[in-house]
């Protein structure tokens, strides 16, 4: 077949293109996050698959659900919060993958999804940071990620059920934050799909 | 001492072998390296510098061989004695350079492609050459910087990158694809040896994240890195091809087909564009839908400007709308047929006046040409012909054929013809049939015909008046066939044409007929009969009861496959060839599709046969394994009494062996055993038994032999001794409730009459051979009054196991009588059967002879002490009772119950 022009894109061509690309990534990861949560629940057994199951939405380490007032904040501020949450997610996803490796060693697709999710959310976080930088709004410096992961790991060591609940919570948070990021980037790139 | 000598000889032999082997090894080693031994270490006699042997092509290479002092002393050589070899080829001395007494160098200028062993050799006293060291020289090139690095992400698969590695290096070169995000690095992707120009990464692609990729090439001569490329994998994606769901025609518009498809789920994230191509089924080139009409994501498209009632084939591919990435592969092809349209042209129409004998009428044959498919625009259902006489009503005809014969008056008529298909009628062709007395006033002149360019041209001079149209008529003049007129129609404006319509259609035949398809083939029409350019062929095929189906085939083809046929069905097929002027049908061909596809019957028959063979084999094996059981139930062994223990027992004589077939007691010797069990209390015998008993009592029979009970029957299987009795000798033993009688008749062996015959009763209840327990084995042999030539008889004793109650009141004598009577009765009943049996049982004949000597045995009876059994033979030569069935008596005969005393 006739390959198209093999033009190598420059790292940050234009702001608009970068926003659009990041927005597309957030949309893609939202889809992936839905699939991950679904796959996760399938492998945990009851009561995770039951309709009424809703464990307490406790904060995991330093990461919590998007605040109710999140939508009212200026976009750069929202993106800063998004970037902070996205930065906290990879070590948590790694912890969940490690725990699931012990609980469900044969759930290879779930484990692969968790591994991919950690990598992808890092990429999304970096892309959001890049957008923030392009917008002139710097993010808030380094974050204490390892500590959060250690807390999560200690929580998980309490038992099988808490470990499953932790994973459920992390996957839920992953979905919420990438979804939130998508929405926030959508404010900057109203053009729709790239 | 001899042992020591042997040991020494062995050791010498062993050492000799060892020495021979060692000599060989040493010699072999010495070929390559002359060494000096220091203790157990092997030290080379020289060294070559450099040890590294990979040399860049085109460069100068110098190697230096340095001899060891000790080696020099041992072999009396210096650097002057060094010479070099590449492989087995000596290097010219011009390339040598003696550096000092111990070192010599060799230089290879502008080294070429080489892969050889470079050895340093010395020439010793006596022109003996030795190799003292060697290195392998390999020449090659350092890797070039990989160029044209590009990557592709096949949807659903991992990213693959490829590059141009540049010139050949002639060396083992490793290519490593490296990739990283801004946030992290990925694992290296090492190209495989057999595909050094590409590598597929291990991780799944993440779209919308820029990735940086480059290639490192490395071999022994260097390492180089390609340019880095940075891209978003989504811009390198090659999507999966769309899947065409349907191609639908429109009844309202016969020139369109609507194509619907599904494509990548990825389309929710990126905008796609499409490439749609189509062609008629028999065409080879594709038409393109304008790209600007398909430049956005969609799932259907309506292709326009198509011909009616024509089958079109479509294919589609897609890619990212911005043109970044790659076109997907083409989809599977899908086809659809446009809807019919009314015939676009009126058929060419002409007539012929046939002679008629009726006065005042004419027979007119109206004829017309079939429309070619591109004008018929559907299947022509029929033609409508209207004949109108001047100022009269019109007559309408509906005809399926292409001709119509009518009787008309001599008046002038106007005929119209329309072709009709499912959608509508064509325009009407109008033809005037002049009155019988009409004469053309303006005929054409100068009609000429001449061949040119392989067609026959016809030229004429037009009349001065305007002409609506011309009709050309012709026929082939041939000695072989009559003049069959053909015709063609031309516009009124032309005055030259060539004969265009084919004069005959192609002859179709089958090349291969399958269960559901048939490959048709035909030959191109000869030019002489083409009469123009064949535009296309049409294949018409139908079943006996089905509708005719027409398929248009490009004129370049000579083969076509009819598919979706029904198996085991008769098909009729014909072909028509069409020029611009019309078509001509060829002969019809008939074929039948087979009921089974090729190999289908074999696929059924072979497994069935194998299964049958397997079943048979298993059956045979089963029978073989169970042959004893089967034999027991179907043809049990008829015991050979001669092989019984009793039969083989003979006092004072060795056991004898009878061959029942070959040696039928030639000397009249026999041994037989019979057992009769009779209920002691016979006051109320069973009717049958009673009857036989009475009969027996009335007859006085001289018993010639001894009757004795041996052991007990199987029913009576008791360890009690049975009671024996006889007419002459009554036994004192009368305690048994059941009297068991057996007859053991022994007359010696081969005329060797034993002097004393004493039988004692054993207490053992061990049966004889299995066969001896069977009731059918219980046989008595009649003694037929000592007369020769009288058939012997077998005796089967009946036993009623239920009548085992005994009556102590019955005396032994009575019992004996009963026994005798029973025996006689049974003999009577079985005589008839036995007579016939004797023919086939010569063994019985032998028994008869044995009975003849019973009196000699009987003489010993009274002298037997203890449990003396009575030996009784019953001669019944006349009594016949046909109604008595053969009875079988289970019996236990105590083995060895009688011992010679």
Residue in B closest to A1 by C-alpha: B327
- Which chain A residue has its CA at the smallest distance from B148's CA? A6
If one compares A17 and B150, the residue with the highest pLDDT of the two is B150
Ranges A79-93, B820-834, B875-889: which has the least confidence: B875-889
pLDDT-derived band at B258, boundaries 50, 70, 90? very high
CA distance A17 to chain B (A): 11
Q: Percentage of chain B with pLDDT > 90?
A: 23
Measured between beta carbons, the chain A residues lying within 8 angstroms of B234 are 24, 194
Out of A4, A10, A28, closest to residue B208 by CB: A28
What is the pLDDT confidence band of residue B42, given thresholds at 50, 70 and 90? low
Chain B residues in contact with A116 by the CB 8 A cut-off are 204, 206
Of B210, B270, B326, the CB nearest to A4: B326
Contact at CB, A9 and B204, closer than 8 angstroms: no
Contact state of B324 with A7 under an 8 Å Cβ cutoff: yes
Residue A90 confidence (pLDDT) above 80: yes
Model pLDDT, residue B41? 54
**Alpha helix positions (H), B709-808:** 770-773
User: Above 50 in pLDDT, residue B588?
Assistant: yes
Residue B689, pLDDT score: 42
**Chain A closest CA to B240's CA: distance in Å?**
13
Query: Cα–Cα distance between B563 and B573 in angstroms, integer?
Result: 13
Task: Indicate the pLDDT class of residue B418, thresholds 50, 70 and 90.
Answer: very high
The answer on pLDDT for B315 being more than 90 is yes
Q: Do A123 and B271 touch (CB under 8 A)?
A: no
Residue-level pLDDT at B837:
44
3-state secondary structure of B557: coil
Does B311 contact chain A (CB < 8 Å)? no
The reply to whether A123 touches chain B by the CB within 8 Å rule is yes
End-to-end CA distance of chain A: 24
pLDDT above 70: residue B256: yes
To which H or E segment does residue B602 belong?
A: helix B600-625
Instruction: State the pLDDT at residue B386.
Output: 93
Mean pLDDT of B5-33: 41
- Portion 552-611 of B in contact with A at CB < 8 A: none
**Which whole-number Å values give the CA distances from B36 to A20, A67, B28, B690, B747, in the listed order?**
78, 87, 15, 123, 107
Contacts of A8 in chain B (CB under 8 A): 229-231
Q: Which pLDDT score, from 0 to 100, does residue B738 have? A: 41
**10 Å Cβ neighbour count for B264?**
19
The most confident of A69-73, B9-13, B62-66, B861-865, by mean pLDDT: B62-66
Per residue in B602-644, pLDDT tens? 888 899 999 999 999 998 998 888 888 887 777 777 777 666 6
B266: closest chain A residue by CA = A28
Judged against a pLDDT cut of 60, whether residue B888 lies above it is answered with: no
Asked whether the beta carbons of residue B327 and residue A2 sit closer than 8 angstroms, the reply is: yes
DSSP A67: P
Which of A98-102, B385-389, B475-479 shows the lowest mean pLDDT across its residues?
B475-479
Q: Is B275 on the interface with A (CB under 8 A)?
A: no
Interface of A with B in 18-57 (CB under 8 A): 21-22, 24-25, 27-28
Element at B838 (helix H, strand E): helix B812-840
Residues 744-773 of B with CB under 8 A from A: none
Q: Which residues of B touch A119 (CB under 8 A)?
A: 184, 203, 206
A10 contacts in B (CB within 8 Å)?
Answer: 230
Q: pLDDT tens digits, residue range B101-122?
A: 899 999 988 888 788 889 999 8
On the question of pLDDT at B854 being above 60, the answer is no
Task: Say whether pLDDT at B662 is over 50.
Answer: no
Query: Does residue A8 have a pLDDT over 80?
Result: no
Kind and range of the H or E run holding A184: helix A160-188
Contact B871, B859 (CB under 8 A): no
What is the nearest CA distance from B156 to chain A, expressed in angstroms? 14
Backbone angles phi, psi at B271, to 5 degrees: -90, 135
Q: What backbone torsions phi and psi does residue B597 show, to the nearest 5 degrees?
A: -75, 165
B204-208, B548-552, B626-630, B720-724: least confident range: B720-724
- Closest chain B CA to residue A18: B208
- The string of pLDDT tens digits covering residues A102-128 is 888 988 999 999 999 998 999 999 899
Count of residues making up chain B: 901
Which of the four pLDDT bands, split at 50, 70 and 90, describes residue B266?
confident
Beta-carbon separation of B207 and A11 below 8 A: no
Q: Is residue B374 less than 8 Å (CB to CB) from chain A? A: no
Q: Of B208, B229, B327, which has the smallest distance from its Cβ to A1's Cβ?
A: B327
Interface contact A181, partner B, CB < 8 A? no
Looking at the complex, report in whole angstroms how far the Cα of residue A33 sits from the nearest Cα belonging to chain B. Answer: 14
Per-residue confidence (pLDDT) for residue B163, from 0 to 100: 94
> Does the pLDDT value for residue B267 go beyond 90?
no
Closest CB from B184, B230, B234 relative to A8: B230
Work out the average pLDDT over B879-891.
36
* Average pLDDT of the residues of chain A: 80
Are B235 and A25 in contact (CB < 8 Å)? no
pLDDT higher at B263 or A118: A118
Q: How far is CA B633 from the centre of its chain?
A: 42
| Summary mean pLDDT of chain B | 72
From chain B, the residues in CB contact with A127 under 8 A are 208-209
B328–chain A nearest CA distance, Å:
8
- A78/A70 Cα distance (integer angstroms): 7
Return the DSSP state at B752.
B
- Give chain B positions within 8 Å (CB) of A24: 207-208, 234, 269-270
Position B652 confidence tier, pLDDT thresholds 50, 70, 90: low
> From the CA of B271, how many Å to the nearest CA of chain A?
7
Beta strands B237-238 and B147-154: pairing type? parallel
d(CA B264, nearest CA chain A) in Å: 14
**Closest-CA distance of chain A to residue B306, Å:** 28
The pLDDT confidence band at residue B552, using thresholds 50, 70 and 90, is confident
The pLDDT tens digits of the residues spanning B439-494 come to 777 778 889 988 887 678 899 998 888 888 888 888 877 776 677 777 888 888 88
- Taking CB atoms and an 8 Å cutoff, what residues of chain A touch B329? 1
Which of A51-55, A171-175, B861-865 has the largest mean confidence? A171-175
Determine the distance in angstroms separating the CA of B322 from the nearest CA of chain A, rounded to an integer: 10
Percent of chain A with pLDDT over 70: 78
Could you tell me which residues come within 8 angstroms of residue B83 by beta carbon, excluding any fewer than 6 positions away? Answer: B90, B91, B93, B96, B121, B122, B123, B129
**B326–A3 C-beta distance less than 8 A:** yes
In the beta sheet, which residues pair with residue B512? B519
Nearest to A25 among B209, B235, B270 (CB): B209
Q: Is A113 on the interface with B (CB under 8 A)?
A: no
How many angstroms separate the CA of residue B381 from the nearest CA in chain A?
46
With CB atoms and an 8 Å threshold, state whether A126 touches B182.
yes
pLDDT at B756 over 60: no
Q: Quick one: pLDDT at residue B526?
A: 72
Give the Cβ contact number of residue B739 at 10 Å.
27
d(CA B162, CA B147): 9
d(CA B67, CA B83) in angstroms, rounded, equals 12
* C-beta atoms of B208 and A1 within 8 A: no
pLDDT of residue A148: 57
Q: How many residues does chain A have?
A: 194
The arithmetic mean of pLDDT across residues B285-312, rounded, is 91
Residue B452, φ and ψ in degrees, nearest 5: -160, 135
């Amino acid at each position: 077949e006739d390959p198209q022009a093999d033009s190598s894109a420059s790292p940050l061509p234009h702001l608009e293109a970068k926003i659009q690309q990041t927005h597309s990534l957030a949309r893609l990861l939202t889809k992936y996050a839905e699939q991950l949560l679904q796959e996760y629940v399938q492998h945990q057994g009851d009561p995770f698959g039951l309709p009424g199951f809703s464990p307490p939405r406790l904060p995991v380490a330093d990461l919590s659900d998007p605040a109710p007032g999140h939508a009212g904040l200026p976009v750069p501020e929202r993106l800063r919060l998004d970037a902070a949450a996205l930065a906290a997610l990879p070590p948590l996803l790694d912890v969940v993958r490690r725990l699931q490796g012990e609980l469900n060693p044969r759930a290879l697709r779930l484990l692969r999804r968790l591994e991919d999710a950690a990598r992808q959310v890092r990429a999304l976080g970096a892309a959001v940071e890049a957008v923030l930088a392009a917008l002139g709004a710097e993010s808030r410096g380094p974050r204490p990620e390892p500590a959060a992961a250690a807390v999560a790991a200690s929580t998980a060591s309490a038992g099988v059920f808490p470990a499953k609940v932790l994973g459920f919570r992390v996957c839920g948070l992953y979905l919420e934050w990438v979804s939130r990021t998508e929405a926030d980037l959508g404010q900057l790139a109203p053009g729709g799909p790239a | 001492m001899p042992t020591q000598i042997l040991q020494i000889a062995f050791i010498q032999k062993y050492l000799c072998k060892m020495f021979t082997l060692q000599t060989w090894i040493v010699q072999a080693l010495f070929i390559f390296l002359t060494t000096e031994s220091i203790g157990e270490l092997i030290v080379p006699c020289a060294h070559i510098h450099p040890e590294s042997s990979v040399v860049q092509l085109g460069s100068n290479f110098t190697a230096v061989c340095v001899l060891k002092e000790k080696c020099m002393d041992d072999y009396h050589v210096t650097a002057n004695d060094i010479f070099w070899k590449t492989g087995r080829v000596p290097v010219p001395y011009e390339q040598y350079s003696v550096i000092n007494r111990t070192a010599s160098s060799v230089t290879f200028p502008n080294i070429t492609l080489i892969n050889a062993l470079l050895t340093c050799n010395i020439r010793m006293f006596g022109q003996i050459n030795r190799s003292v060291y060697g290195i392998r020289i390999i020449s090659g090139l350092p890797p070039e910087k990989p160029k044209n690095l590009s990557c592709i992400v096949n949807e659903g698969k991992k990213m693959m990158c490829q590059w141009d590695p540049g010139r050949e290096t002639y060396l083992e070169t490793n290519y490593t694809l490296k990739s990283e995000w801004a946030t992290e690095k990925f694992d290296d992707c090492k190209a495989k040896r057999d595909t050094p120009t590409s590598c597929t990464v291990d991780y799944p692609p993440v779209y919308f994240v820029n990735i940086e990729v480059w290639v490192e090439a490395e071999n022994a001569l260097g390492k180089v890195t390609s340019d880095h490329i940075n891209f978003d994998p989504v811009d390198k994606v090659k999507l999966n091809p769309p899947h065409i769901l349907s191609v639908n025609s429109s009844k309202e518009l016969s020139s369109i087909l609507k194509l619907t498809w599904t494509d990548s789920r990825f389309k929710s994230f990126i905008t796609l564009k499409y490439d749609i191509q189509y062609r008629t089924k028999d065409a080879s080139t594709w038409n393109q839908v304008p790209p600007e009409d398909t430049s956005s994501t969609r799932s259907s498209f309506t292709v326009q400007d198509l011909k009616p009632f024509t089958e079109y084939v479509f294919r589609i591919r897609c890619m990212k709308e911005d043109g970044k990435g790659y076109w997907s592969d083409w989809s599977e092809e899908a086809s659809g047929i446009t809807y019919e349209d009314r015939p676009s042209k009126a058929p060419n129409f002409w007539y012929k006046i046939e002679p008629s004998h009726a006065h005042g009428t004419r027979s007119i044959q109206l004829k017309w040409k079939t429309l070619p498919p591109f004008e018929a625009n559907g299947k022509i259902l029929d033609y409508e012909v209207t004949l109108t006489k001047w100022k009269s009503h019109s007559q309408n005809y509906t005809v399926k054929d292409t001709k119509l014969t009518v009787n008309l008056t001599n008046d002038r008529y106007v005929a119209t013809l329309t072709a009709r298909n499912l959608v509508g009628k064509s325009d009407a062709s109008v033809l005037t049939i002049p009155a019988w007395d009409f004469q053309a006033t303006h005929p054409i002149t100068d009609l000429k015909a001449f061949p040119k360019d392989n067609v026959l041209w016809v030229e004429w001079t037009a009349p001065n008046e305007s002409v609506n149209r011309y009709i050309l008529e012709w026929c082939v003049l041939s000695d072989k066939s009559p003049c069959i007129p053909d015709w063609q129609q031309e516009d009124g404006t032309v005055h030259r044409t060539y004969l265009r319509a084919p004069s005959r259609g192609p002859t179709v035949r089958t090349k291969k007929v399958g269960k559901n398809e048939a490959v048709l083939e035909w030959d191109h029409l000869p030019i002489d009969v083409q009469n123009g350019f064949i535009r296309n062929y049409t294949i018409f095929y139908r079943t006996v009861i089905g509708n005719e189906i027409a398929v248009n085939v490009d004129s370049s083809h000579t083969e076509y496959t009819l598919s979706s046929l029904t198996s085991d069905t008769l098909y009729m097929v014909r072909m028509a060839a069409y020029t611009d002027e019309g078509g001509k049908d060829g002969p019809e061909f008939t074929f039948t599709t087979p009921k089974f596809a090729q190999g289908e019957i074999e696929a059924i028959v072979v497994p069935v046969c194998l299964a049958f063979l397997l079943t048979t084999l298993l059956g045979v094996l089963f029978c073989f394994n169970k042959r004893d059981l089967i034999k027991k139930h179907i043809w049990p062994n008829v015991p050979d009494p001669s092989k019984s223990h009793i039969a083989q027992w003979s006092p004072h004589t060795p056991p004898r062996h009878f061959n029942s077939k070959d040696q039928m007691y030639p000397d009249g010797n026999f041994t037989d055993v019979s057992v009769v069990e009779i209920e002691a209390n016979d006051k109320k015998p069973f009717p049958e038994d009673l009857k036989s008993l009475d009969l027996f009592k009335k007859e006085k029979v001289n018993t010639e032999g001894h009757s004795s009970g041996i052991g007990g029957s199987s029913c009576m299987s008791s360890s009690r001794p049975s009671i024996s009795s006889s007419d002459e000798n009554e036994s004192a033993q009368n305690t048994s409730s059941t009297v068991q009688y057996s007859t053991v008749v022994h007359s010696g062996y081969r005329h060797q009459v034993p002097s004393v015959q004493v039988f004692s009763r054993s207490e053992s209840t061990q049966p004889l051979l299995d066969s001896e327990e069977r009731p059918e084995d219980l046989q008595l042999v009649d003694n037929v009054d000592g007369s020769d030539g009288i058939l012997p008889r077998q005796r089967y004793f009946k036993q009623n196991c239920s009548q085992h109650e005994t009556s102590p009141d019955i005396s032994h004598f009575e019992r004996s009588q009963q026994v005798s009577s029973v025996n006689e009765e049974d003999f009577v009943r079985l005589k008839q059967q036995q007579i016939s049996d004797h023919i086939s049982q010569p063994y019985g004949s032998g028994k008869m002879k044995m009975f003849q000597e019973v009196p000699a045995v009987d003489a010993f009876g009274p002298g037997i002490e203890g449990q003396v059994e009575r030996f009784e033979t019953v001669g019944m030569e006349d009594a016949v009772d046909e109604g008595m069935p053969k009875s079988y008596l289970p019996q236990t005969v105590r083995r060895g119950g009688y011992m010679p005393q």
